[in-house]
A and B are shown apart, each in its own frame.
Chain A
């Protein structure tokens, strides 16, 4: 397992930002990279993102398996694009012949796709690690989402670590009974899935009643509104950050529609 993926409470500017604003910013990054495609803008945003990781005192975890996989995957994306894109100025050929040209356009396209991928993934990782789900639920409720729904997020996140540990126990139990994961045939795969899925499902279902009784037994749904002891407060940092997010979005729209040009 890599480092714990989820909210880690630290007292930094990014942690203190309004959770709903952070959600909006996350969406803005995704929209921005999707509507305007340029490797240079993407690279700039990625640098900003890396700085934000530093500010949030959150480790990217370059050594972890998860991040290594992401990096390898993006390098693969670059290589794939470079090899399959023939148009553009030819830089050199991979094979003598000449075959498989490496072109400027292919390189740009590869870089832009890989950066887009990294941006979306890393911004999500950052969002998850600096956003307190309970505060996000409170924020969404403030915006008019009924708390029955916004609270689902909190409950789901609460049970994630539990399912992870149950998954481990099921694997140990499988091993103890001599059940090896079998991926050689379709029936083997189906059996492996069933042997893993059934025990986990039964275990999860057995908790549902208990959880529902525990929540209803504490007045969940008692009234339309509820008190939130912990709430986020809007600060100057929030105003500045929203200006930044808004500015970025406008820039992307203008670039995409051709009102302004980069070069």
Chain B
């Protein structure tokens, strides 16, 4: 055996172990999602099937309501966050703003603080104004969670826009709003798209804030998963987890196409 082949022994072992560590938990989840019967000490389920899937996705089951609610909240959170973050990102990147560095850091603060104590106090404040257990309340909390990245990515996307094109548009007689709508915004769009996808996923997956603010009316998919898991129903919890897993994996596989290197290089700049 040549040395080159022998070298694949440690490599293969390391990669194999890592593959088991990464995919093992996902595989175990898949087994649970399709297991009809699984008793100790059997290593594998004794019967596979889809009966739990039909229970989860029965026409009147909770899952459809939760899925719909999760999607509604995620779409609203994306819209509200972008409405806040796009002007803010544009101002930070293209306008002179006093104390710009301090402001950029200010948006980072929620990320540098443990969020759970913040959420429980938001819940207390929301309770007094009637926002607890409502869709707008949960949307606002999700916006706070995603705001940092939305603002930073927007700022980076606008910073990467070529100023010469804007100048050309202005020289040809376009007004500032026309220039923004026809030149600046389209050029920044890939970065803003990445930010929107990120916000959508972030909202879809958010658990802790919804747990405190949405309770008890707002049962999003993560809350449904949590309730099923705490109720001891492995199959239903696993199926819900699997449904949540799909967008995350897809996002992981496509993110590089949306986040261009020139935008990435400007993040935080």
B is a partner of A: no
Residues of A participating in the B interface, judged by any CB pair closer than 8 Å: none
